[in-house]
Amino acid sequence: MRVGPVPILKVANDPGTTTSWAGTAYSQQRVQPATLPNGIPLALHVGLAEVAVLADAGELEARVRFLGGRCRHRFLPTSHPRVLVVSTSPSWTDASVADLVDLSGRRAVVTGAAMGIGAAVATRLAQAGADVIIADIDARGEDTAASLRAAGLSASYQRCDITNTDDLVAVAERAVAAGGLDIWVNNAGIYPTTGPVKSVTDEFLDRMFDVNIRAQFSAAREAANRMPKGGSIVNLASIAGIRGGAGISAYTASKGAVIAMTRALGNELGPMGIRVNAIAPGIIDTPGVRAQMEPLKATGLDIDAAIAANPLRTAGHPDHIARACLFLVSGLAAFVNGVTLVVDGGATA
């Protein structure tokens, strides 16, 4: 339903201010009419030059945090169900760097996090305070989770084949049961050697697209369906999805689709407070890359040189990607949505 202007209380930047509740402190301010899913006209002024209309206090809190602010105080008096008061950081620049990258209280799912880039991402998110679920088809994910717990971080493993939607739902529901899903990193992917186009089979294409784009799409859907308070989704693409390359056409097509999907979902889910971004790594030194390059050693390939073939002359490390991912899911990237961040040492520059 459409609602007209509703009363809101002036925002108090003093976290202790709760006395101005008794009627006269209300100031009539014009707010955007909005349609609410539950029909309850809640208006609130979050002190960030933004007037938002949201369904409940928890939703507000999450939304403000994703916008880069921080709720210092909130209350929702039952006698005034139409009014919510929040005291936030008084300005954009007030939020500290530490606050902006603080993920404490958030639950994150990282797919394919048993090893490689996913394990590095899970580590950085856990170090930032998130409770991380490592969702991987490989049972070594349990070892990865155990090593994070041994470091005093919060992590657990759940077996998940991302091509199986029941598995995706089970992982997402686990996060919901633990208090809510905030972050989903679509990292799991495969890159078997495609070879010449003329010999690519349909079965090969089906498998490549099933894992690298269809499953990522399904995962993004299941995640977004469980982020009523907003959230952040990061999809692992590749520079192969941007510039192409001979002999990798199927992989390139699948990763190009990831980039296109990211743009589309950023548009569609942005209004719900869900930011969707992608990372396009260059060559990163992971078990998967080493395994793929191993057979080429016989042709004289210097694997270490190939991995460091970028203007920085530095091997791409999984943590390079993890740092970019931490940025994207954090308050530092509060206004970043629908983009693909290239992290390749300048290889495509």
Ligand X SMILES: NC(=O)c1ccc[n+]([C@@H]2O[C@H](COP(=O)([O-])OP(=O)(O)OC[C@H]3O[C@@H](n4cnc5c(N)ncnc54)[C@H](O)[C@@H]3O)[C@@H](O)[C@H]2O)c1
Sites of contact with ligand X (CB under 6 A) = 111-112, 114-118, 136-138, 160-163, 187-191, 211, 236, 238, 281, 283-284, 286-289
Long-range contacts of the stretch 50-55 (C-beta < 8 A, 24+): 51/8, 53/3, 54/84, 55/228
In this structure, the strands spanning 107-111 and 131-136 are parallel
Select from 125, 93, 85 the least CA-distant residue to 108: 125
Select from 227, 142, 141 the least CA-distant residue to 176: 227
- C-beta of residue 14 within 8 angstroms of C-beta of residue 31: no
157 flagged as catalytic: no
Question: Which residue stretches of the chain are H helix?
Answer: 57-66, 97-100, 116-127, 141-150, 165-177, 202-209, 215-224, 240-243, 249-269, 287-293, 303-307, 318-329
Select from 330, 287, 266, 275 the least CA-distant residue to 125: 330
Nearer to ligand X, 81 or 287 (CB): 287
Give CA–CA dist 284/343, Å, rounded. 10
Q: Is 299 exposed, middle or buried (0-12, 13-18, 19+ CB in 10 A)?
A: exposed
Give CA–CA dist 75/87, Å, rounded. 10
Select from 159, 165, 269 the least CA-distant residue to 215: 165
Whose tokens are 């097509």? That residue is 253
Give CA–CA dist 194/209, Å, rounded. 12
Neighbours of 120 (CB within 10 A): 23
- C-beta of residue 6 within 8 angstroms of C-beta of residue 31: yes
Give CA–CA dist 208/254, Å, rounded. 7
Structure tokens at 135: 């969702």
Structure tokens at 297: 């050693």
Catalytically active residues are 251
